[in-house]
Structure 1
Amino acid sequence: MFLLFLVVVVLCVCHLASFLWILVLFSWAIFLQKVAVRWREPMAIRWFATRCVSRLTARNSPIQGEMQQKRCVMMFSAPRWGSFKYRHTRTIPDDAVNPLTTPTKIDAGTLHIVSVPIGNLKDFSIRALDVLKQVDYIVTTDRPATKTLLELVHIEAQGRLIHYSRSNRTASKDKLVELLRGGRSMALVCTSGTPCVGDVGSELVREMQSEGVRVSAVPGPCALTCALAVSGVTFSPYESDKSSSTAMQAESPSLSSLRSLRDGSFFFGNMLPESHGARLRILRNTVRQANHPCLFYEIPRRLLLVLQDIALVLPRRRVVVAHELTKMNESLHADTAVKLLAFYSRQEANMMLKKGQLVLIIDGPDADETQEYLQREAEKRRRLRREVTELVGERCDEKDSCDRIAQPKVRSRRELIRRKRRKRLIAKIEKEQERIRMIMKINQTDASRV
């Protein structure tokens, strides 16, 4: 027993130096690994550490050196889950630039048109946040609302907001041009959505462009495009049925040519007028004659009045009402104006319209309505052609023929009687004016004699 203990002591004393060297080298390798992760140069330092460990451990035993080398490679290349090495491992190349974390470069003397969310703060783009953080001034039409919005996304607003409206646009324009020419950068925002689209700001952009100031756009949310996307009123020629379009073209070329105007096109009219007569004129002259969807911004308190006018002029058109888009109380209802009017007249539906913003979409004419319109136009052309043929056959005077062509036929008896009464009244008035003229002339003659 004593002899065995003596042999063990002798072996430990002989290999004590090698054992200490192995401990030092392993500690140094672990330190180099942590430095490699910190310095983002893992390949070179890993190779260097593995090479040093393999060479120094191979002095004692080739098999032991090979095992230590494999163990070192596994330790550096396959870290355990949750360890220091795994948390700091990068999945992208070391020299690559991440565009999502790189700050946006702001040009001096530039006016940025920045889009803000229309309801959901998560719709804020990274570029919009960078621009709002780095610009010197923020031009807005509503300073309290913009200040609240900036505070929600942790952007400093103190001393950076400039109020702009139609009442002070002349004074504001000179101040803004002076600041931009002095090398300052600005951002134009509105309360929600994209500026200059149904909002104040287009006049400011035109004035800045006329002064030679560079204007840049930062795209983002817009209620107009969101309503178009969720309503489904526009379509592409690639989505239409080729067989039905071919048959339609063979039956009526004019109908297919009119429907081809609806391929992605739309009309944006901002907001309908406040007065009842002006709204009816726009609905009759613009919306009814259009062959594509028409979009309007609207406020809740006028929705029932607008639906009444649409039901009066366009009772067969499909109407889409988009309320509070991207918000918690988002709603979308599509039907004819008469049915929508009955729906929103209920008490539970009327509670939805206490606040918020609306987008009103009036769909284009369907195939039956377009066919009726084409038939009316064809009947007018046939009537005009028939009248021209009659005039050519009669060989009447050129002036009389023009008057007859320009004067439409009156088929209503009531309208004919009204026109005859008007002519008699005009003749009576002219006769009375002639009598008064004669009396005045006689009086002048008598006065000259006296």
Structure 2
Amino acid sequence: MPCHNGQVTGNGRLVLAGAPIGQVGDVSPRLREALEGADVVAAEDTRRLRRLAADLGVELTARVVSYYDQNEAGRAQELVEILKQGRTVLVITDAGMPGVSDPGYRLTHLAVEAGVTVTALPGPSAVTTALAVSGLASDRFCFEGFPPRKTGDRARRLAALAGEERTMVFFEAPHRLAESLGAMAEAFGRDRPAAVCRELTKTYEEVRRGGLGELAEWAAAGVKGEITVVVAGRAPGEAEPDLGELVAEVERRVAEGERRGQAVAEVAKGAGVPRRELYDLVHRRSATP
């Protein structure tokens, strides 16, 4: 049913449940009650859900369905139909909050359109936990999720963030961490303060702080676990590099006999600008009659 003057008119209830990011003891009493009282539980991983319920001593009487990235679109429509019947559907992902780099957005959007009640059970979040322990400014921040996997796409995304003054929070897979940190060092500067938060709240929790270049070198040896990266924003008033001057510097080096690729790499590294962006500017300048 539609909303009328902003009032929800449906009878169903969608509950987005924050799940522990490491410690079962972080579960709230309200989550226990919700697991026991839901009609349907939509879980990103049904096996992990059952392990969580067993650890909590909760008997699941609800219908349990899978709800993950690959089936989210189709399953969301099915769950909305259940909500329209007046049922309570609880959504829980492997860790953290549904909809924050986890399945949940599509169903929430459809539920709002259908006019059913949408609520949340607050819980641990890797985003805010990492931000809190990073030691970086937390009064203003933005969450950027996972950087693109492809080198060119990632470089363009990070270049677009080079002027961002808010603290930035990213997720990253451990096997791509060193490469991503290197790309961030190239885009934001090697000395830009950052923190790599690994296995937050778990037994082997580790927070490594330093400049992006230093952190990229550390990560090159290999890192395991769940990773959240927090990067300081550009300092207010910090002058942005003059790209025209950087292009001129590259051309000067090339005229003195240095290879163009090496000149671009060194000038870009020193100025803290994306190498690809500077290379493209140099190439366009050289191609202009």
* 2:152 counterpart SS class: helix
- Give runs of aligned pairs for residues 288-437 of structure 1, distance below 5 A: 288-313=162-187, 314-346=189-221, 350=222, 353-354=223-224, 356-366=225-235, 370-373=237-240, 418-420=287-289
Alignment partners' CA distance in 2, 1:416 and 1:271: 33
Which of the residues 126, 129, 132 maps onto 1:223?
126
- The alpha-carbon deviation at position 202 of structure 1 amounts to 0.7
Looking at structure 1, the residues matched to 209 and 17 of structure 2 have their Cα atoms a distance apart, in angstroms, of 31
Distance 1:112 1:138 in 2: 9
Match for 2:96 among 193, 200, 211?
193
The 3 A distance-change label for structure 1 pair 226 and 155 is same
Which structure shows the bigger proportion of residues in helix conformation?
1
Counterpart for residue 165 of structure 1: 68
Which of 28, 35, 39 is the matching residue for 1:136? 39
- What is the DSSP-based 3-state SS (H/G/I as helix, E as strand, rest coil) of the residue aligned with 2:54? helix
Q: 1:282 to 1:134 in 2, by over 3 A?
A: same
User: What secondary structure is seen at the aligned counterpart in 2 of 1:372?
Assistant: coil
CA shift for structure 1 position 376: 5.1
The letter of the residue matching 1:365 is R
Cα deviation for residue 366 of structure 1 reads 3.4
Change in CA separation of 1:339 and 1:214 when aligned onto 2, cut-off 3 Å: same
How far did 1:182 drift?
2.5
Counterpart for residue 271 of structure 1: 146
Q: Which amino acid aligns with 1:305?
A: E
Which shifted more, 321-330 or 154-163? Answer: 154-163
Give the 3-state SS of the residue equivalent to 2:169 in structure 1. strand
Are the counterparts in 1 of residues 190 and 211 from structure 2 also a CA contact under 8 Å?
yes
Cα RMSD (Å): 2.6
**Alpha-carbon distance change, 311 to 181 in structure 1, aligned in 2, over 3 angstroms:** closer
Report deviation, 1:162: 1.2
CA displacement at 1:344 relative to structure 2: 2.7
Q: TM-score, normalised by structure 2?
A: 0.76
Partner of 2:272: none
Q: Tell me, in whole angstroms, the C-alpha distance in 2 between the residues paired with 1:325 and 1:298.
A: 14
Aligned AA for 1:156?
E
Q: TM-score, normalised by structure 1?
A: 0.50
Matching of residue 147 in structure 1 with residue 50 in structure 2: yes
CA contact (8 A) 1:108 1:185 kept: no
Q: Report deviation, 1:216.
A: 1.0
- CA distance in structure 1 between the aligned counterparts of 2:89 and 2:285, rounded to whole angstroms: 66
Q: Contact 2:41/2:62 (CA < 8 Å) preserved in 1?
A: no
Label 1:365 to 1:298 Cα distance change in 2 as closer, same or farther (>3 A): same
1:173 Cα deviation from its structure 2 partner: 3.3
8 Å Cα contact 2:17-2:97 kept in structure 1: yes
- What runs of 5+ residues in structure 1 fail to find an aligned partner? 1-106, 236-263, 380-411, 421-450
Secondary structure at 2:110 match in 1: helix
Shift of 1:357: 0.9
Distance 1:166 1:311, change over 3 A: closer
Larger radius of gyration: 1
Per-residue CA distance 1:291-348 (angstroms, 9 max, x = gap):
11111111111011111212222222111100011011000011112211222334xx
> Does the 8 Å CA contact 1:325/1:331 hold for their aligned counterparts?
yes
Task: State how 1:69-108 maps to structure 2 within 5 Å.
Answer: none
Looking at both structures, which has the greater relative contact order when contacts are Cα pairs under 8 Å and sequence separation is at least 6?
Answer: 2
Alignment partners' CA distance in 2, 1:300 and 1:137:
34
Task: Name 1:282's counterpart in structure 2.
Answer: 157
1:232 partnered with 2:99: no
Q: Which of 106, 110, 121 pairs up with 2:13?
A: 110
Contact 1:132 1:138 in 2 (8 A): yes
Query: Secondary structure of 2:239's match?
Result: helix
Unaligned runs of 5+ in 2: 1-9, 246-280
* Letter matched to residue 274 of structure 1: R
1:88 aligned partner:
none
For the residue of structure 1 that corresponds to 2:182, the secondary structure is helix
Name the aligned partner's letter for residue 133 of structure 1.
E
Partners of 2:282 and 2:186 lie apart in 1 by: 26
Does the CA-based 8 Å contact 1:139-1:164 persist in structure 2? yes
On the 8 A contact 2:35/2:60 being kept in 1, the answer is no
- Structure 1 residues 379-410: Cα deviation after superposition (integer angstroms, max 9, x where no partner): 9xxxxxxxxxxxxxxxxxxxxxxxxxxxxxxx
Letter in 2 for 1:372: A
Secondary structure (helix, strand or coil) at the match of 1:371 reads coil
Task: Give how far 1:167 is off.
Answer: 3.9
